[in-house]
Amino acid sequence: MLPNEVPDRTPRAGAVSTVNGGPRLGLLIVSEVRFLREALAELLRRDPAVAVLGLCADLDEAIIGSLSHKPDIVLLDASLREGTNATRRLRAAAPEPSVVALAVAETAENIIAWAEAGITGYVPQTTALADLVGILVSISHGKQVCSARIASGLLRHVARTARPDQGGSTQGPAATLTKREREIRLLIGAGLSNKEIARQLDIGVATTKSHVHNLLSKMNVQRRGQAAAQLGPAGSR
């Protein structure tokens, strides 16, 4: 057990614990603030849709906990001292769990920074506690609610950064992605669902699904979050 971990006797999601025939969502909570992570754990354990697998006080504990507990989601306090770099380190060491940034300041620049670091979704600072589980479940299903202002900022960023490759200088998996696939990669990194991506790019949902399928195949990954994290910052492509 981790030094600051509060044990949970419920099994992890996807194991034997089920709710209404479906698996519970396994969570690992990471925050340097002890009362915050313990209070969140106490409240979340009251909801049958989730199972709190452990609490971590820093990134090193989060990496150990991710590898040992294999959570579905690592709920990462956005106020960690390492900031967005915490997500990069965590995804590099333990790529399987989704990373959700908790209590994020909802500005376009901030969301883009977290998306480029590799989060699967985020919980805004203004979120009511009663809505937290619903947001986490939605993110686990590939959905993220973004305000029109944030979506507009993402599209502006796509327009600035999604450029055709110049002179074959791009190497690795990124070299095989089309401009549209790079646009979709960024929007996936921001947590948008296929329907939301289709609406933002003014294309059909079926077309979006086809692009996502091709993107995952080219990146040699199975999960959307892995494709979003693997390329690193959009500006480096």
Residues 6+ apart with CB under 8 A from 21: none
Indicate the CATH number of 149-236 among 3.40.50.2300, 3.90.650.10, 3.40.710.10, 3.40.50.620: 3.40.50.2300
Residue pair 191/114 in contact by the 8 Å Cβ criterion: no
3-state secondary structure the chain: CCCCCCCCCCCCCCCCCEECCEECEEEEEECCCHHHHHHHHHHHCCCCCEEEEEEECCHHHHHHHHHHHCCCEEEEECCCCCCHHHHHHHHHHCCCCEEEEEEECCCHHHHHHHHHHCCCEEEECCCCHHHHHHHHHHHHCCCCCCCHHHHHHHHHHHHHHCCCCCCCCCCHHHHHCCHHHHHHHHHHHCCCCHHHHHHHHCCCHHHHHHHHHHHHHHHCCCCHHHHHHHCCCHHHC
Buried b (16+ CB within 10 A) or exposed e, 24-62: bbbbbbbbbeeebbeebbeebbebebbbbbbbbbbbebb
Q: What is the pLDDT of residue 74?
A: 97
> What would the pLDDT profile of 62-75 be if each residue is shown by its tens digit?
999 999 999 999 99
Global model pTM greater than 0.75: no
The CATH number of 18-141 is: 3.40.50.2300
Strand partners, 205: none
Q: Which of 58-67, 184-193, 224-233 has the lowest mean pLDDT?
A: 224-233
Are the folds of 18-141 and 149-236 the same?
yes
Burial level of 232, CB count in 10 A (0-12/13-18/19+)?
middle
With beta carbons less than 8 A apart as the criterion, state whether 30 and 74 touch.
Answer: yes
Residues contacting 135, CB < 8 A, separation 6+? 121, 123, 127, 145
Domain boundaries, the chain: 18-141, 149-236
Q: How far apart are CA 184 and CA 36, in angstroms?
A: 34
Highest-pLDDT range among 9-23, 150-164, 185-199: 185-199
The conformational region for residue 147 under phi > 0 = left, psi -120 to 50 = alpha, else beta, is beta
Could you tell me how far CA 185 lies from the centroid of its own chain? 13
Please report the pLDDT score of residue 171 as a whole number.
Answer: 47
Q: Could you report the per-residue pLDDT of 160-189, keeping only the tens digit for each?
A: 766 544 433 444 555 678 888 888 888 887
Q: Please report which confidence band the pLDDT of residue 142 belongs to, taking 50, 70 and 90 as the band edges.
A: confident
Instruction: Name the pairing type of β-strands 25-30 and 50-56.
Output: parallel
**Amino acid 79: pLDDT:** 94
